[in-house]
């Protein structure tokens, strides 16, 4: 069963209608039953979903990657003893380790073999995590973008909560703290609405709007908020896109919070485009966002790790990103990619 089969099953099952205890009629992204995007789009029709099934069923299997996507040995000596340098390490998918001002931040920690509520089905890792959980430096703050299974993984957050020394703090979108409190009642969880800011683990974090959706079960669609994150520590500004389609939210992020020293922006899982444009950005849109938020450097994430999320070849985002950079006149070092486990120091 692939990712979209699971999504379709979730949406077909009946269940109780959610209630939004955070509802604020003055906020356009709030509804009585949950949340919505700032720039809503018409949901897919049954005919469009049928077309998607036909397209996916008729599509030839994705070709093998044309480049080496295997992990590199992480520089654990640097990662374990890095009190001052700004550095970013790609662990895989949307999991990124950012080190800045003596603090270790991790985004959407996902170390499990499958992105699924079931251990025997659902999208499977093509590449193992670039750093094993046991080899991570002590994590101070985990930034969670939303509750889809490839971004919020229960075994991974439980393992982080048991790390040596003090557990990390978790910054989450509004509503998701309920999920954490049921499973990790002792965790330090800070939940924010869009444009709310808080100092967490000595890092100033702001949840920003992006165009996506949330669902963890058949009955909680959009009952928890989603978002991207802006984080600032010791004058270093970092942006994390999470999952998103393109929207006019990004110029607003740039106006309010930019520029950024480093951004981690999704570049993968964007086909078939006629359907996925309302869910995920492609490399061309990622490069556009890079400019709109004022990023000095950007790392392409959300590609090359999981099989079965979408049908494009695992390395297709690399070719499309190179074309998008060329079209925008960007040098490779301005919007780069890393191999799993690779670290780049940001000067």
Residue 11: closest CA among 152, 206, 220, 151 = 220
Q: Please check the confidence at residue 73 and state whether its pLDDT lies above 70.
A: yes
pLDDT at 43: 74
pLDDT at position 105, please? 98
Residue ranges of domains in the chain, CATH in brackets: 3-63+71-345 (3.60.15.10)
Question: Rounded mean pLDDT of the chain?
Answer: 92
Q: Which of 6-15, 47-56, 88-97, 165-174 has the lowest mean pLDDT?
A: 6-15
Query: 243, 268, 223: which is closest to 127 by C-alpha?
Result: 268
The arithmetic mean of pLDDT across residues 270-289, rounded, is: 96
What is the rounded distance in angstroms from the CA atom of residue 324 to the CA atom of residue 330? 8
Tell me what the mean pLDDT of segment 183-194 comes to.
Answer: 97
Mean pLDDT of 251-266: 98
**H or E element at residue 48:** helix 46-58
Report strand pairing: 228-233 vs 262-266.
unpaired
Which is more confidently placed, 21 or 66? 21
Report the share of the chain in percent with pLDDT over 70. Answer: 93
Average confidence (pLDDT) over 152-178: 97
pLDDT, tens digit, for every residue of 289-328?
A: 999 999 999 999 999 999 888 999 999 999 999 999 999 9
Q: Is the pLDDT of residue 16 over 70?
A: no
Residues 209, 214, 218: CA angle, nearest 5 degrees: 165
pTM across the whole model: 0.93
| H or E stretch covering 287 | helix 283-292
Q: How many CB atoms lie within 10 A of CB 185?
A: 8
Q: What are phi and psi of 99, to 5 degrees?
A: -115, 125
What does the pLDDT read at residue 64?
A: 66
Sign of CA dihedral 68, 71, 76, 82: positive
């Amino acid at each position: 069963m692939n990712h979209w089969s699971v999504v379709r099953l979730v949406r077909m099952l009946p269940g109780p209608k959610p209630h939004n205890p955070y509802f604020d009629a003055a906020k356009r992204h709030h509804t009585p039953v949950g949340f919505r995007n700032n720039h809503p789009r018409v949901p897919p029709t049954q005919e469009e979903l049928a077309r998607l099934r036909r397209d996916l069923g008729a599509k030839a299997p994705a070709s093998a990657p044309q480049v080496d996507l295997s992990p590199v040995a992480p520089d654990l000596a640097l990662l374990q003893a890095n009190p001052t340098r700004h550095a970013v390490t790609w662990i895989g998918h949307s999991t990124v380790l950012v080190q800045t001002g003596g603090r270790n931040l991790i985004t959407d920690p996902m170390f499990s073999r499958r992105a699924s509520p079931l251990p025997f089905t659902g999208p499977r890792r093509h590449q193992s995590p670039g750093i094993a959980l046991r080899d991570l430096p002590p994590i101070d703050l985990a930034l969670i973008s939303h509750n889809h299974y490839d971004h919020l993984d229960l075994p991974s957050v439980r393992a982080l909560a048991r790390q040596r020394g003090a557990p990390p703090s978790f910054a989450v979108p509004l509503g998701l703290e309920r999920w954490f409190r049921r499973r990790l009642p002792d965790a330090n969880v800070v939940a924010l609405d869009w444009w709310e800011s808080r100092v967490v683990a000595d890092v100033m974090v702001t949840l920003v709007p992006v165009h996506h959706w949330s669902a963890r079960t058949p009955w909680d669609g959009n009952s928890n908020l989603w978002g991207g994150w802006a984080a600032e520590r010791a004058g270093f500004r970092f942006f994390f896109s999470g999952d998103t389609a393109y929207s006019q939210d990004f110029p607003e992020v740039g106006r309010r919070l930019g520029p950024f020293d480093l951004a981690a922006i999704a570049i993968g899982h964007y086909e078939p485009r006629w359907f996925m444009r309302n869910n995920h950005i492609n490399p061309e849109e990622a490069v556009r966002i890079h400019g709109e938020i004022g990023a000095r450097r950007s790392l392409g994430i959300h590609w090359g790790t999981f099989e079965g999320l979408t049908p494009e070849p695992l390395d297709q985002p690399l070719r499309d990103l190179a074309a998008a950079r060329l079209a925008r006149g960007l040098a490779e070092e301005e919007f780069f990619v890393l191999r799993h486990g690779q670290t780049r120091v940001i000067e």
